[in-house]
Amino acid sequence: MSTTEGVAVAGLVVKIDDQVVAKIREINWTNTIEKQDVSGSEDTEGTSPTKITRIKAIPISREVTGECSGIYIADDTGQSDFRTAAENGDTVDIEWTDQRGYGKTGTGFFESFNITGSLQNVYEFTGAFHINSDEDVQPAS
């Protein structure tokens, strides 16, 4: 079971235009921070002859990606759009919420997408997803 801060994840879905088009069973997020070296000749430690420069850095960019697997139903309204969007790199949202309705929506595109077999038009998929932006989800009032 997926968890977020110790709370079970109740909803993990792919949306296009606020319509659920696929259900995600498993996801693994990767958050990567790029850095830039800003150390100078004054950033030293130790004493001669073992005086060395201490490397200092600042963050300059952040990349968030996810590997996921799930299912979609090819004949359902809207869900046939999922395959087209995933294969073309169109913008989609991945939303994950806990049982109380709190969570996040990540907006981005699939970098890779694979489909395996079907059972009565229910297809399994795996893919890599790049998130360009995210926002908090609040429970409906």
The predicted-structure confidence for 60-74, as pLDDT tens digits, reads as follows: 999 999 899 998 887
CB 106 within 8 A of CB 90: no
As a whole number of angstroms, the distance between CA 1 and CA 10 comes to: 10
pLDDT tens string 111-134: 999 998 877 888 899 999 999 999
pLDDT in tens, 1-57: 333 344 445 678 999 988 888 889 888 889 999 999 999 988 889 888 888 989 999
pLDDT greater than 70 at residue 107: yes
How confident is the model at residue 10, as a pLDDT? 60
Exposure on the CB side of residue 27, measured as CA atoms within 13 A: 24
Give the model's confidence band at 93: pLDDT under 50 very low, under 70 low, under 90 confident, else very high. Answer: very high
Task: Give the model's pLDDT for residue 1.
Answer: 35
CATH topology of domain 3-33+61-137: Factor Xa Inhibitor (4.10.410)
User: 17 vs 75, which has greater pLDDT?
Assistant: 17
Task: Identify the three-state secondary structure at position 68.
Answer: strand
